[in-house]
Amino acid sequence: MNTRTDAHPAAQAGLAVVLGGTGGIGAALVAGLQAQDFEVLSLGRRTQPALDYTDEATVAACAGHVADQLAHTGLPLQRLIVATGFLHGETRSGQRAEPERSWQHLNADALQHNFLINAIGPAMVMRHFLPLLPKQGRCVAAFLSARVGSIGDNALGGWYAYRASKAALNQLVHTSAIELARRNKEALCVALHPGTVDTGLSQPFAKKGLQVRPAEEAASDLLAVIDALPTGSSGQFFDHKGLSVPW
């Protein structure tokens, strides 16, 4: 896919919603969408209303807030970008979770938290937000995944919880894309790999020699991919260059 020549211009930009919009790449995506003349709503743990995947009611409340904005402005929801994710840090129970180097490091609490943030939370977003997308016309729901969630591309092993939870997200995206197409044949739902971005999520694991890019550059690349998604690409997994990633 050529992300530079097939672009769909945002000349009639509507509403864009970024979940996780207060994070490193999320904030850059918000700025990039604003530069494209979208009306942008940023939602996260520190916004009002707050988005908290440990409480589905907050996901529903955030969707209700977006629905109110759609009704108030009359704009269509043309972009839904889910930029939330968990790789390391404190879990819901207060324990510390890090990517596993071996099966000996597998921990049920860490697995549960990875799946909560990387798969279950986005699944609830699908439930409450995808019905807000217009029933006709081009619109895009994009979920930030990770290349390490690819089963076909896994040659190194390790990172069990993160890999498995992102693989689950990819399946959820593919499945929801099938249902979304029944409502609107022009609607697109995709998984995107942003590359290694200079944020708190990846910083401890950015190995020497690895291409680590500023959040603004990553966001610009992702928005270019989103704008260039061709007909028939819904339910697929792309990297930040617009290249297909194997499942």
Written as one string, the DSSP assignment of 7-26 is ----TT--EEEEETTTSHHH
Amino acid at 27: A
Q: Counting beta carbons within 10 angstroms of the beta carbon of residue 232, is it exposed (0 to 12), middle (13 to 18) or buried (19 or more)?
A: exposed
**What 3-state DSSP class applies to 41?**
strand
pTM for the full predicted model: 0.90
Look-up of token digits 């708190």: 200
Q: What is d(CA 133, CA 180) in angstroms, rounded to the nearest whole number?
A: 9
Q: Counting beta carbons within 10 angstroms of the beta carbon of residue 231, is it exposed (0 to 12), middle (13 to 18) or buried (19 or more)?
A: exposed
Q: What is d(CA 1, CA 53) in angstroms, rounded to the nearest whole number?
A: 33
Residues 240, 194 contacting (CB under 8 angstroms): yes
Q: Which pLDDT score is estimated for 146?
A: 95
**Which tokens go with 34?**
């604003």
Closest C-alpha to 236, from 118, 150, 124, 160: 150
Q: Which pLDDT score is estimated for 2?
A: 44
Q: Which pLDDT score is estimated for 150?
A: 96
Long-range contacts of 66-70 (CB under 8 A, 24+ apart): 66/15, 66/17, 66/41, 66/129, 66/132, 67/132, 69/15, 69/41, 70/15, 70/132
State the pairing for strand pair 96-97/89-90. Answer: antiparallel
Per-residue pLDDT of the chain (247 residues; tens, 9 = 90+): 544 444 554 445 899 999 999 988 999 999 999 999 999 999 999 999 999 999 999 999 999 999 999 999 999 999 999 999 999 999 999 999 999 999 999 999 999 999 999 999 999 999 999 999 999 999 999 999 999 999 999 999 999 999 999 999 999 999 999 999 999 999 999 999 999 877 655 555 555 445 678 999 999 999 999 999 999 999 999 999 999 999 9
Within 10 Å of residue 90's Cβ, how many Cβ atoms? 11
Q: Which pLDDT score is estimated for 6?
A: 47
Amino acid at 164: A
Q: Which pLDDT score is estimated for 81?
A: 98
Q: Which pLDDT score is estimated for 212?
A: 76
Residues 124, 135 contacting (CB under 8 angstroms): no
- Cα 170 to its chain centre, rounded Å, is 10
